[in-house]
Amino acid sequence: MRNHRLGRRGVAGFFEEIPAASVAIISLLLFFSGMLVAITNYSDRQQSSQFAQEAQTFLEGLLGYANLTYLGQYGVFDVYSMTALTLNDLTYDFHPSFQYSITITDTSLYPVHYDKTLATGNLPSGPSSLQNGYVSDSTSVDLWVFNFPDTEYHAATLTVVIWS
């Protein structure tokens, strides 16, 4: 039987620890880099979701906007108030923190159509240059038109595009 005592002739075991330590360090680095990517993706998605919510809030605000609706009816626009609407009115009442474009398109079968477009600027052609990108949202509205002696309700589409 051999004598297994520790001494100067024994094997230190240092060379077995290097690969094990390397695997542990690489595993930790992969874990932390994965966590960093996940946190960054979550933050980006939360920011874009918040920007889309701002567009929805702006659109809903327009649907009930007192300077645009007919007798305060939600989603029914007075065509004469619509034609008189300006960017200054919207900026003063809504105080948006983004650039926007509002388009009201008359889609009815009546011979006379009432369309309106208001924009704070042109949407850049390269969306990558935008900080938050852009969001487009649309809904149906009615246009109240009083033509003596008749009253007409025109079907229309309200489209809001915001960018930042």
| pLDDT tens, residue by residue, 77-101 | 999 999 999 999 998 999 998 889 9
Burial of 100 (0-12, 13-18, 19+ CB in 10 A): buried
> What pLDDT band is residue 158 in, cutting at 50, 70 and 90?
very high
List the structure tokens of 31.
């874990």
pLDDT at site 128: 66
pLDDT at site 16: 72
pLDDT at site 33: 94
Compute the Cα dihedral for 27, 29, 35, 37 and give only its sign.
negative
List the structure tokens of 121.
């600027």
Q: Which among 73, 10, 129 is positioned nearest to 2, based on CA atoms?
A: 10
Q: Which among 90, 116, 91 is positioned nearest to 103, based on CA atoms?
A: 116
Residue 42: what residue type? Y
pTM: 0.70
CA distance 66 to 76: 11
Residue 21: what residue type? A
